[in-house]
Amino acid sequence: MSAVDTVRNRLDALPDVGLVVAFIASIWAVMLVLAIAVGGANWANLAAGFIGSVTVLIGGYAILALALNLQWGYTGLFNIGIAGFMAVGAYTTAVLTAPTDPAAGAVPGLGLPLWVGLIGGMAMAAIIGGLAALPALRLKADYLAIVTVAFSEIIRLIVNWDGLAEVSLLGVPIGTGGATGISFKSANQVASTFINGVGQPLVAAMEGVGVSGPNLANLTYGILLLLVVAASYWVLARITNSPFGRVLKAIREDETVTQSLGKDTRLFKIKTFMIGCALMGLAGVLFRGQAGYISPQQFRPTITFYVFAALIIGGSGSNTGSIIGAATFSGLLFYLPARLGENVSLGGTRAPGNIIDAVAGLGSLDPLPLLAYTISNVSTLRFVLIGVVLIYIIQNQPDGLLGHRNEPATSVSLDRPQSGSGGEADE
Amino acid sequence: MSEPEATARQETAVTSDAIDSPLLVVDGLRKEFGGVVAVDGATFSVAEGSLTGLIGPNGAGKSTTFNCITGIHEPTGGRVTFDGQSITGLPPYTLANRGLVRTFQIARELSEMTVLENVMLAPGGQVGESVIRSVTPGLRGDVIEAETAVRDRAWETLEFFEIDHLAHENAGNLSGGQRKLLEMARVLMTDPEMILLDEPLAGVNPTLEEKLLERIHELRREQGLTFLLVEHDMDVIMNNCEHIIVMHQGSVLAEGDAETIKSDERVLEAYLGGDV
């Protein structure tokens, strides 16, 4: 009985919504404990900061993992261009909503409201996703992967390109800002305005216990992002638990058979790819562009692999698993170690300058130098941890935390209708 | 005997046999893979409501013929007509929607899906296959209604093939024989007119074989389905098919009922590879 099995059995016992809420709440609890342990008198503000940041991370990765789960987990479309489709969404929103009269040196945009920008960003990401999928439809899965990764790099290089930094389109000056990036309407600002308006009494009360305004606004934003996750989950659950979702699963299993049963698989693949890319575009704005500023550096391919890691941990093929995986990855493997490293110190032991000195301590049976070294370099070493967890999961639990569950692709209960004879299959 | 002569004789045979109402007509079908000619001018037809057998030694081109008819491969030449309309080179999903479906030589179950999901996938034109309808609250009513009907029919079909006790099992956990039954159940759910069976009895034990054949005959009798059967077991073909087509080296060598085929020297020659 491995540790993962134990966690699994506990998770299995809960209904899905309760499961996700309990899981995120326990990550919050861990953050709270950490803040109390290291924060001293300032613990409340520290806790709000930790919880706000971790919630935004969980929200962002959850949307991305859900989108990837639709494409890869359900349909088997191997999209390794996630970063590119996020960039398309984020940049489209940025160009649509950037002010027409920007500060000196910044790039002007169309000055449209944020909601128009969000819809535009999602639509554009869907269109570009559809274009990327078109040539790949006639090809086998591996070629789609190559096409998407190439697309994502092309997109990043285009937005990084000076030639588009500021151009005049039909007399209207717009642009991507090139390598310096672009500022636009901040989604974070919406949360801030909201909490400082309607939530004024709460802000005052929180300030009483030492929680700063920006931290509270960030926490509000994180919670709003979780609402977006909930909405995405609702839509995706309906998409996947339907005859449409059944065809997607069948395409993943055997496309030839699916075609032989009368399904035009190309249409299903294109639609799926576009829906997934639209969500990725949304995450590009709300997650990477939350502060109202984006630059090409934020859309490097590494984020694509983080999302894959999150989905593999959670269990591809399961919507609930996608969110749990995103929370585990971003909260426990990505964020928590970094905060531990910053805030935990080993009394008098100074961290050695390099790994050789750290290991040398072991020769005299003194583990403290190595421990101190590990803690002070944890933000680098956490990637080793992520790698170890991935290898462990792939070897021992290839289905991830929840991928073993059967989420039947249908809109109705699958029990035998009443008229049927007895002998119900055991479950 | 030389090939062209055989083909010529065959063509006259088909016209003189005068199959009353051919559902499927294959005319001069040809398929080349690079320099290899897998199917070389195969010509035959399958009467509506019949159980027709397609036999031939290994490499005779039976499976390639199947793949060309069902749109898995695009034929290099020739014509295929189904129900009076040309279906040459049409994709598999179009054919399935017109009522021409197939099973595979090696059962291709969708292994990570349950048996019930496998079967519920098959019916054509399900309203819930539209994303908008499946998601939008107001439109979902139709989807639920259609799903309930599909589910009920799926249970009936599983009961017909006696694999209903496995409904919630992943298809990948089924035994070889159960997979063959599942494939049959699945194609049946598409409401076909004609089913092409590619070695449905290979690796199936005698009891199950009996059961499968019984189902095939029952479907013919009661729903008027047409079957084209590729099979290596001579006894099965001779005892069950009223019309038999023998392929050899990519073309049709002989055609007729069991007695005709049994007494055809060319067939024995093709199978035994020499004088008999």
Q: Judge: B135–A247 Cβ closer than 8 Å, yes or no.
A: no
Closest among B164, B30, B102, B77 to A414, alpha carbons compared:
B164
pLDDT at A426 over 60: no
What residues contact A200, with CB distance under 8 A and at least 6 apart?
Answer: none
**Phi (first) and psi of residue B86, to 5 degrees:** -70, 130
Alpha helix (H) ranges present in chain B?
3-17, 62-69, 92-98, 115-121, 131-135, 140-160, 176-188, 206-223, 234-240, 258-262, 265-272
Q: Are A269 and A251 in contact (CB under 8 A)?
A: yes
Please give the C-alpha separations between residue B31 and each of A9, B10, B80, B92, B95, in angstroms, as whole numbers.
Answer: 55, 19, 13, 17, 19
Chain B residues closer than 8 Å to A422 by CB: none
3-state secondary structure A358-412: HHHHHHCCCCHHHHHHHHHCHHHHHHHHHHHHHHHHHHHCCCCCCCCCCCCCCCC
User: A70 — contact with chain B (CB < 8 Å)?
Assistant: no
Residue A1: other Cβ atoms inside 10 A: 6
- pLDDT tens, residue by residue, A271-281: 999 999 999 99
Q: Tell whether B102 is within 8 A of chain A (Cβ).
A: yes
Does residue A135 have a pLDDT over 50?
yes
Identify the bridge partners of residue B246 per DSSP, sorted by sequence position.
B55, B254
Q: Across the interface, which of A242, A250, A421 has its CB nearest the CB of B110?
A: A250
- Angle between the N-to-C axes of helices A355-363 and A368-376, in degrees from 0 to 180, rounded to the nearest 10: 160
Cα A70 from Cα A317, distance rounded (Å): 8
Q: CB count, 10 Å around CB of B45?
A: 20
CA-nearest residue to B114 within chain A is A408
For residues A185-204, average pLDDT: 86
> What pLDDT is attached to residue A420?
43
pLDDT at A206: 85
Say whether B110 and A253 touch across the interface (CB within 8 A).
Answer: yes
Residue of B nearest to A422 (CA): B165
* pLDDT class of A347 with cuts at 50, 70, 90: low
pLDDT of A51 above 90: yes
**Distance from C-alpha of A147 to C-alpha of A80, rounded to nearest angstrom:** 9
Q: Which B residues 117-156 touch A at CB under 8 Å?
A: 117, 120-122, 124, 126-131, 134-135, 140, 143-144, 146-148, 150-152, 155
Instruction: Return the SS3 of B17.
Output: helix
Tell me what pLDDT residue B273 has: 66
pLDDT at A66: 97
User: How is the beta sheet containing B77-82 ordered, strand by strand?
Assistant: B36-47, B22-33, B77-82, B85-86
Sign, CA torsion A28/A329/A145/A317: negative
pLDDT in tens, B88-121: 989 999 999 999 999 988 889 999 999 999 999 9
Nearest-CA neighbor of A296 among A125, A105, A152?
A: A152
Cα–chain center distance at A24: 14
Element (H, E) at B27: strand B22-33
Q: For the residues A361-386, what does the mean pLDDT come to? A: 81
pLDDT in tens, B35-47: 899 999 999 999 9
Q: What DSSP string describes B113-180?
A: SBHHHHHHH-SSS-GGGSHHHHHSGGGHHHHHHHHHHHHHHHHHHHHHTT-GGGTTSBGGGS-HHHHH
pLDDT score of B14: 42
- Are residues A120 and A96 in contact, defined by beta-carbon separation less than 8 angstroms? yes
- A138-182 pLDDT, tens digit each: 766 678 888 899 999 999 999 999 888 888 888 888 888 888 899
What are the residue ranges spanned by the domains of chain A?
3-344+377-396
Beta bridge partners of B30: B40, B77
| Residue A398 in contact with partner chain B when CB distance is under 8 A | no
Q: Please give the Cα distance from A88 to A122 (Å, whole number).
A: 8
Residue numbers in B near A243 (CB within 8 A): 120-121, 126-129, 134, 143, 146-147, 150
Q: What is the pLDDT of residue A295?
A: 93
The Cα–Cα gap between A183 and A160 comes to 15
Alpha carbon B137 to chain centroid distance? 40
Domain A3-344+377-396 maps to which CATH number in 1.20.120, 2.60.40, 1.10.10, 1.10.3470?
1.10.3470
| Helical (H) or strand (E) element with A273 | helix A265-283
pLDDT of residue B232: 83
DSSP-derived secondary structure letter, A413 = -
CA neighbours within 13 Å on the CB side: how many for B171?
28
B36–chain A nearest CA distance, Å: 24
pLDDT grade for A424, boundaries at 50, 70 and 90:
very low
User: Cβ contact (<8 Å) for B93 and A417?
Assistant: no
The SS3 of residue A89 is helix
Contacting residues for A269 by C-beta, under 8 A, at least 6 apart: A75, A77, A133, A137, A251
Per CB-CB distance under 8 Å, the chain A contacts of B165 are 423, 425
Answer yes or no: are the C-beta atoms of A226 and A52 closer than 8 Å: no
Q: How far apart are CA B61 and CA A201, in angstroms?
A: 81
| Identity at B261, one-letter amino acid code | I
Sheet order of strands, B251-256 included: B100-102, B194-198, B226-230, B51-55, B243-248, B251-256
CA B182 and chain centroid, separation: 14
Per-residue pLDDT of chain B (276 residues; tens, 9 = 90+): 444 444 444 444 444 344 667 899 999 999 999 889 999 999 999 999 999 999 988 888 898 999 999 999 999 999 999 999 999 989 999 999 999 999 988 889 999 999 999 999 999 989 989 989 888 888 888 899 999 999 999 999 999 998 999 999 999 999 888 899 999 999 999 999 999 999 888 878 888 888 889 999 999 999 999 999 998 888 889 999 999 999 998 889 999 888 888 888 888 888 776 544
In Å, what is the CA distance from A194 to each residue of A97, A197, A224, A225?
19, 5, 11, 14
In this predicted structure, what is the pLDDT of residue A406?
66
* Residue B276: predicted pLDDT: 40
Q: In chain B, what residues touch A247 (CB-CB under 8 Å)?
A: 121, 129
A residues 210-249 closer than 8 Å to B (CB)? 235, 238-239, 242-247, 249
C-alpha torsion sign, points A107, A113, A114, A115: negative
Take residue A330 and report the two structure tokens written for it.
Answer: 């971003």
The pLDDT value recorded for residue B201 is 87
Residue holding tokens 């048996």? B115
pLDDT for position A134: 86
**Considering only alpha carbons, which residue of chain A is nearest residue B141?**
A411
Q: Is B27 on the interface with A (CB under 8 A)?
A: no
**pLDDT for res B50:** 92
Using an 8 Å CB-CB cutoff, list chain B residues near A412: 144, 147-148, 151
The residue in chain A having the minimum alpha-carbon distance to the alpha carbon of residue B122 is A261
For chain A, what percent of residues have pLDDT higher than 90? 51
Domains of chain B (ranges; CATH) run 3-109+192-272 (3.40.50.300), 110-173 (no CATH)
Task: Give the mean pLDDT of A22-28.
Answer: 94
Look at residue A139 and give its three-state secondary structure. Answer: coil
State residue A348's pLDDT score: 63
Quote the pLDDT of residue A425: 38
In angstroms, the Cα distances linking B184 to A6, A31, B104 are 40, 56, 10
SS3 B229: strand
pLDDT tens-place string over residues A52-75 = 999 999 999 999 999 999 999 999
Interval A186-194 mean pLDDT: 87
